[in-house]
């Protein structure tokens, strides 16, 4: 079952919250669950608005997000009323950066062990402009990390330059650095685990070594930088982006998040490179 909820903000701004309520039972075949959910998403014409051009593509993406490579046998179901309350409060605090975008937030349950063990039960993706996907394993204190994920992905979703499938290394650094600083501006100056993963000194050192590859659209290198699949540690790219954006923001005469989140990341990167 899919529940669509309208979240009303100020100035007639509206965000659609789409919660997938289907019970996720790890003891049952993954394909059955994925088939059920993707068919319902397709029947409601959500496939394209989620950033996918076929039912098969959305199914493969959800297989990765919801299950990963693990075989947990648990059974979970999301509490839609609690999620509506928590997410509505988060969005109200971000109201000042919104225009009249038709933003959609899709929320799925997950049994992905990486999300559970390394991301405190909450995963986030921005698949295209105005579209956010959140996956949740309802751990005891998951709401704090849900706030982090919503604010981070909302920052991505406001940019017309954001395209999850074709980001260059440099664009990814800028987008994630901006998203983390924006999140801190809403939640306070506590660094997220993504940023704590790498020291400032190490992050800047890696950035300098990457300068000749910043324009590359190479998934292998991108995954090495952001997801620890090669010579860099897990989440390094998020920390690199955070610290180079920190330098950028300190050099601005004024800071208007509504404008800066919509700025061309290449222009920002061009300025940042002159600092290092």
**pLDDT > 90? residue 63:** yes
Is 166 exposed, middle or buried (CB count within 10 Å of its CB: 0-12, 13-18, 19+)?
A: exposed
Asked if residues 27 and 75 have their Cβ atoms less than 8 Å apart, the reply is yes
The full set of domain ranges for the chain reads 2-157, 165-273
Asked if residues 111 and 121 have their Cβ atoms less than 8 Å apart, the reply is no
**Cα 113 to chain center, whole Å?**
17
- The overall longest dimension of the chain from CA atoms, in Å, is 56
Instruction: Indicate the average pLDDT of the chain.
Output: 94
pTM summary value? 0.95
Q: Which two tokens stand for residue 267?
A: 């222009």
pLDDT digits (tens, 9 = 90+) for 79-101: 999 999 999 999 999 999 999 88
The confidence band for 158, taking pLDDT boundaries of 50, 70 and 90, is: very high
Asked if residues 66 and 110 have their Cβ atoms less than 8 Å apart, the reply is yes
pLDDT digits (tens, 9 = 90+) for 177-188: 999 999 999 999
């Amino acid at each position: 079952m899919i529940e669509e909820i309208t979240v009303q903000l100020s100035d007639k701004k509206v965000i659609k919250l789409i919660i997938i309520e289907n019970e996720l039972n790890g003891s049952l075949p993954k394909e059955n669950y994925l088939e059920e959910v993707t068919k319902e998403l397709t029947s409601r014409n959500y496939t394209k608005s989620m950033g996918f051009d076929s039912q098969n593509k959305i199914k493969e993406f959800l297989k990765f997000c919801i299950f990963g490579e693990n075989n947990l046998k648990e059974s979970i179901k999301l509490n839609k009323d609690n999620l509506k309350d928590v997410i509505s409060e988060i969005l109200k605090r971000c109201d000042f950066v919104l225009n009249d975008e038709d933003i959609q937030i899709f929320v799925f349950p997950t049994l992905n062990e990486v999300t559970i063990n390394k991301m405190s039960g909450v995963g986030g993706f921005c698949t295209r402009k105005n579209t956010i996907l959140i996956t949740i394993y309802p751990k005891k204190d998951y709401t704090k990390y849900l706030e982090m994920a919503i604010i981070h992905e909302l920052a991505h979703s406001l940019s017309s330059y954001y395209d999850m499938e074709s980001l260059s290394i440099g664009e990814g650094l800028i987008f994630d650095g901006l998203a983390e600083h924006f999140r801190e501006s809403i939640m306070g100056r506590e660094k997220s685990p993504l940023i704590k993963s790498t020291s400032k000194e190490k992050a800047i050192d890696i950035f300098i070594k990457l300068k000749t590859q910043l324009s590359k659209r190479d998934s292998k290198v991108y995954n090495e930088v952001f997801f620890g699949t090669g010579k860099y540690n897990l989440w390094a790219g998020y920390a690199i982006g955070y610290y180079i954006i920190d330098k950028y923001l300190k050099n601005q005469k004024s800071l208007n998040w509504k404008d800066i989140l919509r700025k061309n990341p290449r222009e920002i990167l061009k300025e940042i490179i002159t600092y290092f």
